[in-house]
Structure 1
Amino acid sequence: MQYRSIIRILGMLIAIFSITMVPPALVAYWYQDGAGVPFILSFLLCLLSGFLIWYPNRQYRAELKVRDGFLIVVLFWIVLGAVGAIPLVLAERPNMNLASAMFEAFSGLTTTGATVLTGIELLPKAILYYRQQLQWLGGMGIIVLAVAILPLLGVGGMQLYRAETPGPVKDNKMTPRIADTAKHLWYIYLALTLACALAFYLAGMSWFDAICHAFSTVAIGGFSTYDASIGHFDSGLINTICIVFLLISAVNFPLHFAAIRGKSVATYFRDPEFKTFLGIQAALILICFLVLLHTSVYPDGLTALNHAAFQAVSTSTTAGFSTQSFAAWPLFLPILLIFSSFIGGCAGSTGGGMKVVRVLLLFKQGVRELNRLIHPRAMYAIKLGRRPVEDRIVQAVWGFFAAYALVFVVIMLALIFTGLDNITAFSATAACLNNLGPGLGEVAAHFGNIPDASKWILIIAMVFGRLEIFTLLVLFTPAFWRN
């Protein structure tokens, strides 16, 4: 294990991360909200800390191996989550203890969108902007950005990219060089963010709200600058824009690249995961619409359709925005939507959950096992589209599912041990492990009233979800630490 090289890289990344404290300080200066000092202090502290970590190890430039990549990704998210909490601890408003500040920072960086705050619109603009910026940076994965610039600093990137990229198949690259791959991902990400911000502005948001909500929409994060979330604007047009960009952001980003490079929309419809994703979204919207229409929750069908579509897409893609609290919806809809977050977005997207392609492979494997019961001697191949899927990938998906279920149960039981009721513990675990945000019970509106011990446990759940279980879980295996 190249420990000195890993420490050197962490020092560089902390120093680079310090730059993210500058925009909120400029926002504080622009709006004269008096919240700039914590960000200036945080900038200096991060820059100094990064330099002190990097300088003694600056000569160590050994090539990273796969194990090094896993370790540095985990350390990177934990360290930057902790560093990201510094301005929230230093700020006078909101007045947060360490557990709450860490929860909010990790929730932003992992794009979970769960918050401990109330009266959000009364907070300084700098704090509001910073929360949204954390989600935007975490959306694509800061590691992917680092991969684009690390080659300039003499560090290989493929090991980091393999550890960070979501999805079961991590060997595919859009371009021959990994740095070019990361850059193309960020070009698409930035273009979507600008388009989303412009659309929100033209729909009636202020520039500040448009930029902030574009950050969290394209990141599929869910933070808002208002307690009422998107519902604050009470606009069907804004809801529709948010739905469109959530759906786009929940699609595999390399698929976007392939469609752009091939100049053909048909590229999307040749992808089996994309078609399955659209089918799931259509089914959820239809179910929610019919139930809301039948129970007369809203005065007319058009309003019911708008709310049904928004909440179904927002929850199933793990964004967590809301127009109204879906916890108050009738019958089985709240539980249905919570379960839909387990599927999440497509692999290679900014969404959370287990990813559509994994669920699709699990379904196909289940069908194959049923067919084998009927015809034990027959040979059945699992295919995605026309391409057969290797058994090692199917086995990896089953392993992931088992690990996901195990982590879920352990975290839920730990939350119950801290005093949460069953519904709150279940939904809080789902909300954080799937990087969703809102839950049911005590966490339907916010997470501010749960014990600090529960917050620390849920921080672990967020990191597990963001790093897709195995990246973090592999560090607990003895084989990982053997030479």
Structure 2
Amino acid sequence: MQFRTIIKILGQLVALFSITMVPPAIVSLIYKDGGGVPFVLAFIFSVTIGLMAYYPNRHEDGDLKAREGFLIVVLFWLVLGAFASLPLIFLQEPNLSLADAVFEAFSGLTTTGATVLTGIEYLPKSVLFYRQQLQWFGGMGIIVLAVAILPMLGVGGMQLYRAEIPGPVKDSKMTPRIADTAKHLWYIYVSITLACTLAYWIAGMDWFDAISHAFSTVAIGGFSTYDASMGHFDSPVINFICVFFLIIAAINFSLHYAAVASRNISVYIRDPEFKVFLCIQLALVVICFTVLSSHEVYANGDETLDQALFHAVSISSTAGFATDNFSAWPLFLPILLIFSSFIGGCAGSTGGGMKVVRVFLLYLQGVRELNRLVHPRAIYSIKLGSKALPDKVVEAVWGFFSAYALVFIIIMLALMGTGMDNITAFSATAACLNNLGPGLGDVASHYGSISDGAKWLLTIAMVFGRLEIFTLLVLFTPTFWRG
């Protein structure tokens, strides 16, 4: 294990991340909100620690293998979350505890969107911008950005990229060079963010809110600059814009790249995961609209469709934006939407959850086993589109599902051990492990009232969800350290 090389890279990445403290300080100067000092202090502290880690190891150029890549990714997300919490710790108002500051920082960085704060609109503009900015960087993964830059510093990025990019198949690259791949991902990401910002502004948001909500929309994060979330704007047009860009962000970014490169949108239609994703969204909207209409929850059909469409897409894509208290909806709808977050977005998107392709493969495997019961001697292959998948891919998906279920159960039981009721424990675990945000029960609106122990457990759940279980679990295997 190339520990000194790992420390060198972590130092570089922390120093790079310190730059993200600068924009909130500039926002503080623009709005004269008096909140810039914590960000300046955090910048000085972060860049100093980063350089102290880098400089003594600057000549280390060990060859990175896959396991070093996994370790760097995990360490960096943990270290990054710790440094991201510094401005929140230094703040005088609101005065957050260590557990609250770390929870809020990790929630932003992992694009979970769960918050311990109330009275959000009264916070300094710099703090609001910082929360949104954290989600934007976390959405695509700051490691991918670093992969585009580190080759210039003499550090290869393939191992980091394979460990960071979500999805069941991690070996493929869109372009021959990994740095080019990361750059193209960011070009697309920034372009979608700019388009979303402009759309929000045209729909009536001021520039600050438009930029802030574009950050969290494209990142499928869910943070807002208001307690009422998107409900503050009371605009069906803004709701539709949010839904549109959430769907775009929940699609595999390699499809966006392929569509742009070929100038042909048929690549979306040919992708089986994309079609399954749209079918799931349509089914959820229809179910929500039907149940809400039958119970006459809203005054008319237009409002009912607006609320059904917005919450079905927002919750299932793991964004967690809200325009109303969906936890108070009738019958099974709140539980249905929470369960839909387990599916989440497509692989290679900014969404959370297990990813559509994995759930689809589990379904295809279930169908294959049923067919084998009828025809035991027949040979059935699982196809994704026209491509037959090797059994090792299906086995990996089953392994992921098993690990996901195990982590979920352990965290939920641990939360109940802290005194949390079963509905709150279940929904909080689902919301944080799926990087969703809002839950049910005591965490329907915010997480400020739960114990510090529960916040630490849920912070761990966020990291597990962001790194898709295996990247973190592999560090606990003896084989990893012996290899």
2 CA distance for matches of 1:449 and 1:263? 50
1 CA distance for matches of 2:468 and 2:63? 25
The residue aligned with 2:56 is 56
Whichever residue aligns with residue 362 of structure 2, its letter is L
2 CA distance for matches of 1:125 and 1:94? 13
The residue aligned with 2:123 is 123
Q: Secondary structure at the match of 2:34?
A: coil
Alignment of 1:404-419 (within 5 A): 404-419=404-419
Aligned-pair distance for 1:215? 0.0
The residue aligned with 2:344 is 344
Aligned-pair distance for 1:442? 0.3
The residue aligned with 1:175 is 175
The residue aligned with 2:208 is 208
Aligned-pair distance for 1:93? 1.5
2 CA distance for matches of 1:156 and 1:391? 31
Aligned-pair distance for 1:262? 1.2
Aligned-pair distance for 1:51? 0.7
Alignment of 1:367-446 (within 5 A): 367-446=367-446
1 CA distance for matches of 2:153 and 2:294? 60
Aligned-pair distance for 1:178? 0.5
Whichever residue aligns with residue 122 of structure 1, its letter is Y
Show structure 2 runs of 5+ residues with no match: none
The residue aligned with 1:5 is 5
Whichever residue aligns with residue 413 of structure 2, its letter is L
Aligned-pair distance for 1:27? 0.2
Q: Deviations over 1:407-441 (max 9, x none)?
A: 00000000000110000000000000000000000
Q: Deviations over 1:69-115 (max 9, x none)?
A: 00000000000000000000001121100000000000000000000
The residue aligned with 2:259 is 259
Q: Does 1:81 align with 2:76?
A: no
Q: Deviations over 1:338-365 (max 9, x none)?
A: 0000000000000000000000000000
What is the percentage of aligned positions where both structures have the same residue? 71
Whichever residue aligns with residue 122 of structure 2, its letter is L
The residue aligned with 1:194 is 194
The residue aligned with 1:466 is 466
Residue correspondences, number = 483
Alignment of 1:282-301 (within 5 A): 282-301=282-301
Q: Deviations over 1:30-51 (max 9, x none)?
A: 0000000000011111010101
Q: Deviations over 1:368-394 (max 9, x none)?
A: 000000000000010011010110000
Aligned-pair distance for 1:325? 1.3
1 CA distance for matches of 2:422 and 2:154? 50
Q: Secondary structure at the match of 1:173?
A: coil
2 CA distance for matches of 1:132 and 1:464? 21
Show structure 1 runs of 5+ residues with no match: none
Q: Deviations over 1:9-46 (max 9, x none)?
A: 00011111110000000000000000000000111110
Q: Deviations over 1:58-77 (max 9, x none)?
A: 11111210000000000000
Q: Deviations over 1:169-205 (max 9, x none)?
A: 0011100001100000000000000000000000000
**TM-score, normalised to structure 2's length?**
1.00
Q: Does 1:147 align with 2:147?
A: yes
Whichever residue aligns with residue 152 of structure 1, its letter is M
Aligned-pair distance for 1:265? 1.3
Q: Does 1:19 align with 2:19?
A: yes
Whichever residue aligns with residue 443 of structure 1, its letter is V
The residue aligned with 1:309 is 309
Aligned-pair distance for 1:307? 0.4
The residue aligned with 2:325 is 325
Runs of at least 4 residues of structure 1 off by over 4 A? none
1 CA distance for matches of 2:450 and 2:420? 8
Q: Secondary structure at the match of 1:419?
A: coil
Q: Deviations over 1:187-244 (max 9, x none)?
A: 0000000000000000000000000000000000000000000000000000000000
Q: Deviations over 1:123-154 (max 9, x none)?
A: 00000000000000000011110110010111
